[in-house]
Amino acid sequence: MSFETFGQPLLTFPDAEKSPLSIRAKALVFVDPRSRQLREEMAQLAPRSISVLIRGETGTGKELLARHIHRASDRSGLFVSVNCGAISPTYADAELFGYAAGSYSGSASSRAGWFGSANGGTLYLDEIGDLPLPIQIKLLAALENHEVTRVGAHQPSPVDVRLVAATSIDLAQAVAAGKFHERLYHYLSEGHLELPALRARVGDILSLAEYFLGIYSQRLDLPVPLISEAAQEVLEQHSWPGNTRELENVIHFALLVSTGDEILPEHLNLPEVSGSLVQIERQVASITAKGTAGERKALKELLLSLSEAL
């Protein structure tokens, strides 16, 4: 479901009103140049049938990207979301691939498993690096052969599943360490999306803040306050280690403790970081990406002199 905020597209979960936003931030905006580039990459990947690997820090909204890819594809089946860290190591086969009737004590009927539930649709595996290696091998076989064998079954069942996986770690390093299956990594990397941290897409911060402010004001039946210019500066300068999820919590708190018609810096409960290392890092990144050859050379010389001084 798409909305508009500040004249810019806003992407939210379709069930945003059915579950508390505090569980997981449920919105992304595409105001910042890096976000607009990401949106273009999503639009190119969505109609294709290849698997997609989304990499991003915790709280950035990786599942939201996966849902968007599913909605923008032509797949009519369900979007099935699975947290790999929550899969039981003992019953991982049954949970992912299903089981036949009588496979377990008291199991009078068969179960399709996550793969079967996503047949014709999209299976989203969050933190895929948490899957045990033996299950990774079976997952790759299921994807390549388009079939799964349920626990206790004698014949495989055909499946048509598109996999979208997410990780907050560098899987290439996990491959090098022998902790992730190399062929599965290459299979997933055919479609790759990098979701930047919120601090790297500063242009999105205020639009997201306004969105969360509107959502919580509506739920709590409170008038919507303005975000003062001073508070806006604090929001844009904060490093956001918790990403969009942290921003949501900060705005929720500010709404509850503000007393006037404006949210002020003290309502945010964040440190003011004017002139801080965060700003310097952003300036360095901007010059590195967009600066002239002369500016980049001067920056390189400055950083070299600083490192020698330290």
**Residues 130-165 as b or e (16 or more Cβ within 10 Å = b):** ebeeebbebbbebbeeebbbbbbbeeebebebbbbb
The neighbouring-strand residues paired with 199 are none
The distance of Cα 249 from the centroid of its chain, to the nearest Å, equals: 17
Residues 259, 205, 202, 278, CA torsion sign: positive
Task: Output the pLDDT for position 284.
Answer: 61
Q: Are 122 and 166 in contact (CB under 8 A)?
A: no
Task: Output the pLDDT for position 300.
Answer: 66
Q: Are 120 and 80 in contact (CB under 8 A)?
A: no
Task: Output the pLDDT for position 17.
Answer: 44
What is the biggest distance separating any 2 CA atoms in the chain, rounded to whole angstroms? 73
**Residues of CATH 3.40.50.300 domain(s) within the chain?**
33-194
Q: Of 131, 122, 132, 186, give the one whose Cα is nearest residue 159.
A: 122
Task: Output the pLDDT for position 52.
Answer: 96
Fold of the CATH domain 33-194: Rossmann fold (3.40.50)
Task: Return the DSSP state at 60.
Answer: S
Tens-binned pLDDT, residue by residue, of the chain (310 aa): 333 443 444 555 444 444 443 334 567 788 999 999 999 999 999 999 899 999 999 999 999 999 999 999 989 999 999 999 998 888 888 889 888 865 655 554 567 789 989 999 999 999 999 999 999 999 999 999 999 888 878 888 899 999 999 999 999 999 999 999 999 999 998 899 999 999 999 999 999 999 999 989 998 999 999 999 999 999 999 999 999 999 999 999 999 999 889 999 999 988 765 444 455 555 566 656 666 666 566 666 666 655 554 4
Count CA atoms within 13 Å of residue 196 on its CB side: 19
